[in-house]
Amino acid sequence: MSAIKRVSTPYELTPLSFDTPYEFPRHFLPSVMKDDSKIPLVLVACGSFSPVTYLHLRMFEMAQDHFKERNEFELLTGYYSPVSDHYMKEGLAKAEDRVKMCQLAVETTSDWLMVDSWEPRQTTYQRTAVVLDHFDDELNKVGGGIATASAGGDLIASFGHPGVWAPNDLHHIVGHYGCVIIERTGTDVYGFLLSHDILYQHRMNVTVIKQLIHNDISSTKIRLFVKRGMSIKYLLPNPVIDYIHAHGLYWPRNSSNQ
């Protein structure tokens, strides 16, 4: 008996087969900002999202709380940018599936987050610096920025924790754009910031948000639970659970569990 019980609900999922032509999503992007004294801000979260979890969704909520408190930025919207299949990471479901799961998550639970499929549609892996440039292009050149009384600056920041990055990219990402880092309990982000030359140089562009509720829902563990027939309920939205089940994602190969 499988421990994964289907929670049946009918959803009208916006079909996003990669056969349909690409369009940059703007439906939650306001045309006018509310407070001219602030800098309009858009957050981009790059990642595998295999699958997207409540932790990924919480990250944006925490960021929203944080920027409401600060007077500097007006947070307009947030985007998930799932990595392309060419990243060749273990456990990656097909890009189309990962995009659809992110969409299910934001469409059924959120009124300000969107999913951009530009990065996963690329035939080669795109560095984060390039992905941010794409957002810059779409939001500010194609989109024309956002209306303010004065010609205000604009800023795009990306979530992330610095892994292995080329110095040029780091300067571009943290210097030209900026970073919002969700600090996990037990990690010493400020110490790291101090020790890392490039991050330190651009420290005014680095925002650290403390995670007050320790909520370590890792996609890796979720994939493992699915593989072992264990419950993943209450770790990610039900529509995403249903999708995983309906498409047989993350099950062991050659399994008789079909």
Partner 1 sequence: MASTLKAKGFGDDNILGEFHDSYSFPRQLIPETMNDDSKIPLVIVACGSYSPITYLHLRMFEMARDHFNEREGYELIAGYFSPVSDAYMKEGLAKASHRVKMCQLAVDSTSDWLMVDSWESRQSMYQRTAVVLDHFDYELNQVGGGIKTQSGEIRKIKIMLLAGGDLMASFGHPGVWTSEDLHHIVGRYGCVIIERTGTDVYGFLLSHDILYQHRMNVLIIKQLIHNDISSTKIRLFVKRGMSIKYLLPNPVIDYISDHRLYLPEL
193, 238, 242, 247: residue in contact with partner 1 (rule CB under 8 A): 238
Gap between the Cα atoms of 125 and 182, Å rounded = 25
Q: Is 19 helix (H, G, I), strand (E, B) or coil?
A: coil
- Long-range own/partner contacts, residues 180-183 (CB < 8 A, 24 or more apart): 180/43, 180/63, 180/66, 180/207, 180/209, 181/206, 181/207, 181/208, 181/209, 182/59, 182/62, 182/63, 182/209, 182/211, 183/208, 183/209, 183/210, 183/211
Residue 70 or 137 having the CB closest to partner 1: 70
For position 54 contacting partner 1 by CB under 8 A, the verdict is yes
215, 227, 242, 247: residue in contact with partner 1 (rule CB under 8 A): 215
Residue 109 or 122 having the CB closest to partner 1: 109
For position 221 contacting partner 1 by CB under 8 A, the verdict is yes
For position 252 contacting partner 1 by CB under 8 A, the verdict is no
233, 248, 252, 257: residue in contact with partner 1 (rule CB under 8 A): 233
Q: How far is the CB of 233 from partner 1 (least distance, A)?
A: 5
Element (H, E) at 258: none
- Give, rounded to a whole angstrom, the gap between the first and last alpha carbons of the chain: 12
Q: Six-digit token pair at 253?
A: 């190969």
Question: Which of the residues 86 through 125 are near partner 1 (CB under 8 A)?
Answer: 109
In 87-127, alpha helices (H)? 95-109, 118-121
For position 230 contacting partner 1 by CB under 8 A, the verdict is yes
For position 61 contacting partner 1 by CB under 8 A, the verdict is yes
Residue 112 or 192 having the CB closest to partner 1: 112
For position 255 contacting partner 1 by CB under 8 A, the verdict is no
Piece of the chain touching partner 1 by CB under 8 A; list 43-51, 76-84, 199-207, 222-230: 222-230
For position 65 contacting partner 1 by CB under 8 A, the verdict is yes
| Sheet bearing 39-47, strands edge to edge | 113-115, 73-82, 39-47, 155-159, 179-183, 206-210
Residues at the contact surface with partner 1, assessed by CB under 8 A: 1, 3, 5, 7, 54, 57-58, 61-62, 64-65, 109, 212-218, 221, 225, 229-231, 233-235, 238
